[in-house]
Every structure is written in C-alpha cells, then in structure tokens.
Amino acid sequence: MHRALLLMAAVLTRAIAPQTNATESPDMDPTTPQARPATSSIFRSGVRLPTSKPRRQQMKQGKADSPMLNYIFDSYATSNKHFHDKFRAPSFEGDVTSDDTLDADTGATVVFDCKVTALRDKMVSWLRVSDEEHLELLTLDLDTHTADSRYRVDLAGDNWRLALSDARVQDSGIYCCHVSTHPPMLRRVRLTVHPPEIIMSKEAFLETGETLSLKCAVLHLHSQDVPAMHWFRGNSTAPLDEIRGGVLIDTDHLTLTSHLQVARLKVEDAGNYTCFLQSPLQMRAVARVHVLQGSSLAELQSGVKTKSSYTGLLLTTMLLVLVLWYDDR
C-alpha cells in the first residue's frame, strides 16, 4: 500500500513539472514564486506573444539591426545616384542659338567640341555639309564612317570631340553635331581654313654703301616639318649667300619669317630679290631693289617730279604749236 502511494506521487510530480518549467523565467527567483517575470514575452495557453517594447526598440535602432536590408538600400542608392537625370531630356552645353566659328591655318589640326548632357540611350554623330548642301556622315558614336583617315572621334566625359588633322582650304564648311532625339538636335560649327600666303615689300630705294634689309613672312601655314626658305637675286639659281659676301640670312622656323641683310651695296646689287619657300610647299615673293649712286633718295624723288613736270610742259607746248599751225592754214 505504501509503495503504491509513492508510485502515484512520482507520476503526478512528472505531470506537473513541465507546466511549472514553462511558466518559469530565467529571471524569476525560485524562492519568490509571486515575482512577475522580467522577460519580454508572456505565455498564455502555451503560445508566446511578443510584447510591444522590444518592437519599439527595434524600430528606434533602425537599419543597423538588418544587414541584408542595409545592403539592398545602399546598392539601390548607389545605382540611382543620378536618378533625376533619367527624367531630363538630352541637351547641348553652352549657347546653341548661333553657329560657332573656327579659323584654322592650312596644315593645322582642328578640334570640334560637342558637349551633350543626359544623353542616355541616344546616339551622337558628326556630319559635314558641303557647298552643294550635300550631307556627309563622318562619325557615328565612336565609329568613323568616312574614307578620309584625317578624321577621328573620341569621348571625354560628355564631350564628343571630332578632330581633323592636316586641314586644307577645301575642308572649309559647316560641321554638325547630331543627336538622335525626336526631333533631332543639331549643333553647327562653321570652319574656315585660310590659304597660305607669302608677303614682302615690293620695292626698295637705297644708296651705294648702305645695307639692304628685306623681311619675308609666310602666313596661314602650319607644318610639323622644318621649312626651307632661300634668297635669290635676279635669274640666278644659286642662293644669294653663296655667291656674295656680306650677306646675313636669319630664318625663324616657328613664325616662318626670314630676314635678309646685304651690307655695302653696290650699283650691281640692284635688281629683283626673291624670297622662296621650297617646302612644305612652294611659294615666292619678289622685291625690286634700286641702288643709287651719288645722289640721295630725296634728290631722286625731286628729280622724278622735275622730269615729270618738264615732260608735261613739253607736251603742252607741242600741242599749242600744232593748234597755231592749223589756224594759219
């Protein structure tokens, strides 16, 4: 009988133990069974219901408690840093109300700039308009569509830059930067390539014993090669500094100017002096040099005026004689 009572007590103890453990909390003092649990959960009928306090704390702590959400948020923010640009229409940078103008020397490299903002999926091309209003496609995006190897295009930021090397006079005209919007956007640039020319004074009057000084300049010519400039007198094919002493020639290859000096002039030094550009192209300029002996320039000018006056007076007299002779008849 006593053993049966002990067995029933053990069974009841095991049946009650799980309920007691389920209602206990790690923070509850077993010596004070009336103490309220200090946990953030309340158990009712075996169901765990979270309280509102931990949720408020989680909301206050923000994204630091959610690494995956933080990663997604940061990735989105980075990829959409310029999200507002997706709603902007493409546009040219700068004033496009009038044509841009470029002036270039023959042989120089010409650079055309075309800055386009918010381009997105549109295409940029360069066109050339000839004198006959004929359109020639030069480039499309970064591809060249012309057989002329002097053209090339590159992209620097938003700037679609077209470069034309070794410019020629026939390259003058209108160049258009085209964007494939609807309607299409156009920016026009008017290029003028100046032809080269050589200039020098046409005539000079000097006395014997003086020093001749002539300066020759080549304009609107750009060359990477060293130019070859020579001086000749009369019909001679030999350079002047090789056939006469006292000749000084100073040539500036950067500015394409040449300065000739001939010391102690003689009467036989008179004649035509030629400044000849041999390369990169052939051009020449001629000056007529007069060398006077025993008279000054002022006397020469006075003598010319006196001779002209005498000639006019002689002609007037002859006409008067003829008129009187016809009257007598």
Percent of the chain past pLDDT 70, that is, above it, reads 62
Judgement on whether residues 205 and 148 belong to the same structural domain of the protein: no
Structural domain includes residue 302 = no
Judgement on whether residues 168 and 246 belong to the same structural domain of the protein: no
Look up residue 296 and give its amino acid. S
In b/e form, how buried is each residue of 188-209, taking b as 16+ CB within 10 angstroms? Answer: ebebebbebebebeeebebbee
Q: Label residue 164 exposed, middle or buried (CB < 10 Å: 0-12, 13-18, 19+).
A: buried
Mean pLDDT (whole number) for 133-151: 91
Residue 32 pLDDT greater than 90, yes or no: no
Domain final residue pick, 194, 217, 240:
194
pLDDT for 133: 72
CA distances (Å), origin 129, targets 5, 84, 148, 181: 115, 36, 15, 20
Structural domain includes residue 139 = yes
* Domain coverage including residue 146: 91-194
Residue 229 pLDDT greater than 80, yes or no: yes
Judgement on whether residues 189 and 266 belong to the same structural domain of the protein: no
Torsion angles phi and psi, residue 151, rounded to 5: -95, 140
Judgement on whether residues 125 and 189 belong to the same structural domain of the protein: yes
Judgement on whether residues 101 and 136 belong to the same structural domain of the protein: yes
Residue 206 pLDDT greater than 60, yes or no: yes
Structural domain includes residue 23 = no
User: Range with the lowest mean pLDDT among 17-21, 75-79, 271-275?
Assistant: 17-21
pLDDT for 53: 44
Domain final residue pick, 194, 222, 253:
194
- Per the CB < 8 A criterion, the answer to whether 119 and 129 are in contact is no
Judgement on whether residues 179 and 207 belong to the same structural domain of the protein: no
pLDDT for 70: 56
Mean pLDDT (whole number) for 321-328: 61
Judgement on whether residues 209 and 228 belong to the same structural domain of the protein: yes
Q: Which residues contact 240 (CB under 8 A, 6 or more apart)?
A: 231, 232, 233, 247, 249, 260, 262, 273
Judgement on whether residues 238 and 170 belong to the same structural domain of the protein: no
Judgement on whether residues 158 and 244 belong to the same structural domain of the protein: no
Structural domain includes residue 162 = yes
CATH code assigned at 173 = 2.60.40.10
Structural domain includes residue 246 = yes
Structural domain includes residue 114 = yes
Confidence of residue 135 (pLDDT cuts 50, 70, 90): confident
Count up the domains in the chain and report the number.
2
If DSSP codes are grouped into helix, strand and coil, which group holds residue 305?
A: helix
**CA 244, CA 289: separation in Å to the nearest integer?**
16
Residue 97 CB neighbours (<10 A)? 5
